[in-house]
A and B are shown apart, each in its own frame.
Chain A
């Protein structure tokens, strides 16, 4: 890798609109396509500071800056369109988190990369609505938070309260939300309002290692740790009345429940297993990448297919996991308000995946192509009338759920035609880290973080309080900046803003 000065690096970057930058070929070696990233003023400064720091240290130490990672992904074989960085982009393993990359299936050299999906396969966000108002919930907020905490185990090493045996797990891996439906944990409408209808059909549980299954079995129905959470939120602002109504969001102060979690240890193990395999395959198939972390295999190779089947199984696990938590949250609310989930109108508004790779049909230079779209820390955002979005959202576009950081706010966006054309129907996924976990721990004090939440009137239940500073709002980019940038760029549209009143965390 050439080491250049910051000034030299800037020659490869060009601002193309008020909120997007082009990364020209040559920014890193072997770029097959250009890069593109979306930022507003605040986020731009963060991105360029990151690059500047990396130039100063000569590229040593820690992760590569996000911009370099976007460039390295643009150098992968078979990539088409652009390597796209969303406004919440930050350094990750191989691929930046907040990166979208699409590979042409008709090109035999095209690759699939586990780093482009992430370790927490099918990490995603689900939003449930209720017909309760903030006034209904405020007096019992503490009890409700405790009740949720009792139902949904959190933290590293937590275990779920839904009994599962090995056979159940096999079936869940294969069937996804159809398993939850069959067993009666969820409603038929939940499946309707879930990306991919809650089941990836190419899943093959035999491609998931015994070790992964062993890790996953006791964890079903648990939140885990890290940035995962379950929040009780209230509607703060409605930007798009019509879209909100279609989602069943009728008034300010309406209570919703957001669940953000993924495939726990099972997904992590699937990713780790495949990275080991792919490193060997790259030598065999003579695949070269700029970064060792970008381990990948040809999509059509056995290893590539095995990964996709294992990934699909892990994705199914994540949906079952979110479905189980939906069931538990419904139980908790029903108990608390002495009612039924039906009477509380606790419908799933939508469920999005923001760590996944999917086969999709897109138009590239006017031609229809089948692409393998990697979305890591980025969310699918399909426009109105797209055949893969639920019938209820055909006129509004797909709801995109953006989970904010603990104690800040969350957004619901909708997909747009422009996003379909510019980013293969992709938008941001959340706030995006600004400080590393280690840095957060050094710079912040956990009592301050907890006090700040209390001042805002947010109840919190947390398994490991000493780690909350990792997830403090200060450690993240401002989610409002991120969302506004996507809105301004036209790749998705703001519909609803939610603010939390209670948080459950690992």
Chain B
């Protein structure tokens, strides 16, 4: 529940923080004081830093009082939210100019080079829980909708969905398709020669499909080669003929 604030503070493990996990909670408090709040001088932080000590709750209570927390130390969630908010406020105050200029647009353009695991990114897609049952269900229903056969690894399946959408349903693909319309005839798979026999009908069919996909990739490559040649030709080509040179033999 504190993920957004933790991410904003660049906390190393922003995912799945639980304020009732004593160890995680103590770690967070020490990290905030060390890295962000810095209310005490370094030598005065000893009590707070002795994480395993039985004296820690007392040190924590003092610390909260010193910061002026409005909540009692027992209300973990409330106090966590408050101290995180306090830290964010300090962080903002450190460089108000920099943060004021941040807009969703500028953020989007830079989010590409942030790592999702480090908690720096605010791109919601990067923070998706890919193993969430809801997510898996979504992938499955997308696959069904697009008539992609089921596959045990939902991430691989998602890749297949991406490929399909990119090649068949993207704006560019649709434009190309509408231009080309139905050029060429449909050749049924059983008319395609495989060139070898695996002894298994299904595998033969699959191998033919791989052959066809490979040929399509080759065609794309060859077209790019041709384009490259043509663009060089625009610089070098200068065909000449001189009919005076011609001589018919005997």
Bound: A445/B241 CA distance, A: 37
* Docked complex Cα distance between A240 and B111 (Å): 56
In the complex formed, the residue of B with least CB distance to A397 is B193
Which residue in A160, A183, A417 is a CB contact (below 8 Å) of B195? A417
Segment with Cβ contacts to A, from B32-40, B124-132, B242-250:
B242-250
Closest Cβ–Cβ distance, residue A180 to chain B (whole Å): 9
Chain B residues near A160: list those with CB within 8 A.
245-246
Across-interface contacts of B236 in A (CB, < 8 A):
182-184
Check if B233 sits within 8 Å of A181, measured CB to CB. Answer: yes
Given contacts A162-B241, A417-B195, contact A153 B230 (CB under 8 A): no
B residues contacting the other copy or chain, number (CB 8 A): 34
Contact B237 A463 (CB under 8 A): no
Whether A161 lies near B193 (C-beta < 8 A) is: no
Expressed in whole angstroms, the Cα–Cα distance for A222 and B211 within the complex equals 41
Contact with A along B89-118 (1 / 0, CB 8 A): 000000000000000000000000000000
Interface presence of A163 (CB below 8 A): yes
**In the complex, which residues of chain A have a beta carbon less than 8 angstroms from the beta carbon of B243?**
150, 161
Q: What residues of B have a CB within 8 angstroms of the CB of A163 in the complex?
A: 240-242, 245
Segment with Cβ contacts to B, from A107-115, A186-194, A422-430, A449-457: A186-194
A219-244, CB < 8 A from B: 222, 224-225, 242
B173 contacts chain A at the CB level, 8 A cutoff:
no
Cβ-neighbour of A184 out of B185, B233, B242, B245 (below 8 A): B233
> Nearest-CB distance from A379 to chain B (Å)?
20
Q: Say yes or no for B77: interface residue by CB 8 A criterion.
A: no
- A282 interfacial contact with B, CB 8 Å: no
Q: In the complex, what's the smallest C-beta–C-beta distance from B211 to chain A, in angstroms?
A: 6
Q: How far is the CB of B229 from chain A (nearest CB, A)?
A: 4
B245 in contact with A188 (CB, 8 Å): no
- Which residue of chain A lies nearest to B244 when distances are taken between CB atoms in the complex? A161
Q: Are B218 and A391 in contact (CB under 8 A)?
A: yes
Q: Are A182 and B226 in contact (CB under 8 A)?
A: no
Taking CB atoms and an 8 Å cut-off, the chain B residues in 169-202 that contact chain A are 184-185, 187, 191-195
Per-position 1/0 for A337-348, Cβ under 8 A of B: 000000000000
Which A residues touch B195, using CB under 8 A?
Answer: 383-385, 417
Bound Cα distance from A392 to B223, whole angstroms = 11
CA distance A149 to B247 in the complex (A): 11
Select from chain A the residue with minimum beta-carbon distance to B229.
A188
Write the nearest CB–CB distance from A157 to chain B, whole angstroms. 4
CB distance from B124 to the nearest CB of A (A): 42
A74 proximal to B (CB < 8 A): no
Q: Which of B195, B227, B230, B246 has the most CB of A within 10 A?
A: B246
Q: Does B20 sit within 8 A of A, measured CB to CB?
A: no
Contact A183 B245 (CB under 8 A): no
Residue of A nearest to B227 (CB): A188
In the complex, chain B residues whose CB is within 8 Å of the CB of A184: 233, 236-239
Q: Which one, B185, B229, B241, B246, contacts A245 given CB within 8 A?
A: B185
Measured in the bound complex, the distance between the Cα atoms of B250 and A464 in whole Å is 5
Q: Is the CB of A155 within 8 A of B242?
A: no
The smallest C-beta distance from A249 to any residue of chain B, in angstroms, reads: 14
* Chain A residues closer than 8 Å to B233, beta-carbon distance: 181-182, 184, 188
In contact, B229 and A181 (Cβ under 8 angstroms): yes
Do A155 and B248 touch (CB < 8 A)? Answer: yes
- Contact across chains for A188 and B246 when beta carbons are under 8 A apart: no
Q: Does A156 contact B (CB under 8 A)?
A: yes
Cβ of B69 within 8 Å of any chain A Cβ, yes or no, is no
A163–B242 Cα distance when bound, in Å, is: 6
Q: Which residues of A contact B227 (CB under 8 A)?
A: 188
Minimal beta-carbon separation of A286 from chain B (angstroms): 43
Cβ-defined partner of A157 (8 Å) among B218, B230, B232, B250: B250
Decide if B246 touches A394 in the complex (CB within 8 Å). Answer: no
Q: Provide the residues of chain A in CB contact with B242, threshold 8 Å.
A: 161-163
| Closest B residue, CB atoms, query A390 | B222
A201 sits at the interface (CB 8 A): no
Give the 6 A-B residue pairs with the shortest CB-CB distance, closest first.
A184-B237, A155-B249, A158-B249, A159-B247, A188-B226, A157-B249
Can you report 22 A-B residue pairs in the complex whose CB atoms are below 8 A from each other? Answer: A155-B249, A157-B249, A163-B245, A183-B239, A185-B239, A188-B226, A188-B233, A225-B249, A242-B191, A245-B184, A328-B241, A331-B241, A384-B193, A385-B193, A391-B219, A391-B222, A395-B187, A395-B193, A395-B215, A463-B248, A463-B249, A506-B249
